[in-house]
Amino acid sequence: MVDKNDIVTVNTTFKIQAGSLVELENWLYANLDVVGFRIVPNTEKLYEEDNMFKKLVKIEREARIAKEKYINDKL
């Protein structure tokens, strides 16, 4: 169980206007212990049009779920 004073790692994805990106990034680095920061490309069209990409997304999703289950079982 997590104690309220424990340091936890949080990963979140959200959309923001491009013009606000630098300001957000600067704020995050100034106020938090940032572990990683990356811009996620829009792959909607690629997913719709490319069957190989769709397969890769499925493989990645299944691997992520299996990894998370493994971690949760071990912790």
Distance of CA 75 to the CA centre of its chain: 21
pLDDT digits (tens, 9 = 90+) for 18-42: 999 999 999 999 999 999 999 999 9
pLDDT digits (tens, 9 = 90+) for 40-67: 999 999 999 999 999 999 999 999 999 9
CA pair distance 17, 65, nearest whole angstrom? 30
Single-letter amino acid, residue 18: A
8 near 2, Cβ under 8 Å?
yes
Q: What angle do CA 7, 9, 64 make, to 5 degrees?
A: 145
pLDDT at residue 71 tops 90:
yes
Per-residue model confidence (pLDDT) at position 1: 74
CA pair distance 66, 58, nearest whole angstrom? 12
